[in-house]
Amino acid sequence: LGDGANGKERTLAMIKPDGVSGNYTEEIKRIIVESSFSIVREMLTQLDNEKASAFYDEHSSRSFFPDLVTYMTSGPVLVMVLEKRDAVSDWRGLIGPTDAQKAKISHPHSIRALCGKDSQSNCVHGSDSTSSAEREIKFFFDDVLSGDIASQHDEL
């Protein structure tokens, strides 16, 4: 999941509910591919309260946490595993600062400047470190893996 033998790295990207419902998916994916990332996996999914809370567990004591969970469960999200050299920091650079209002001024070409609204509704997520990337990729994509193994066992 981390650095492969080819020197590439993986990160977890997500188009949040406002990005999906605002029809930014195709434009964001075009930016991703033009920026030399490969999309290794992708999944459109609806987060429930439990899953959104677990994903953002590091923020559970923050005052904005209940609003964050409401926002993240307000519609489907598109989660993607992106791969390239320095994928974690390059994707964070592409999305821009957390507050989309600030992004529009300081990083006008960033994705959050393109489709975000404010400090909460910022249309995309990116892992903030290689260890977060590993946790977040497993968070979404190990279910699929263990499900596959379980169904193989069922057939035996």
Binding residues for ATP: 16, 64, 92, 98, 112, 122
Residue written as token pair 């964001």: 28
Number of residues engaging ligand RTP in binding (CB under 6 A): 10
Per DSSP, the three-state class of 151 is helix
Nearer to ligand RTP (CB atom), residue 59 or residue 109? 59
Contact 56, 127 (CB under 8 A): no
Site string for ligand RTP, 42-61 (x = CB under 6 A): -----------------x--
- Distance of closest approach, residue 68 Cβ to ligand RTP, in angstroms: 5
Contact by Cβ (8 Å): 29, 35: no
Question: Is 125 among the catalytic positions?
Answer: yes
Helix (H, G, I), strand (E, B) or coil at 127: coil
C-alpha of 68 from chain center? 14
Residues taking part in catalysis:
125
Contacting positions for Mg ion (CB under 5 A): 128
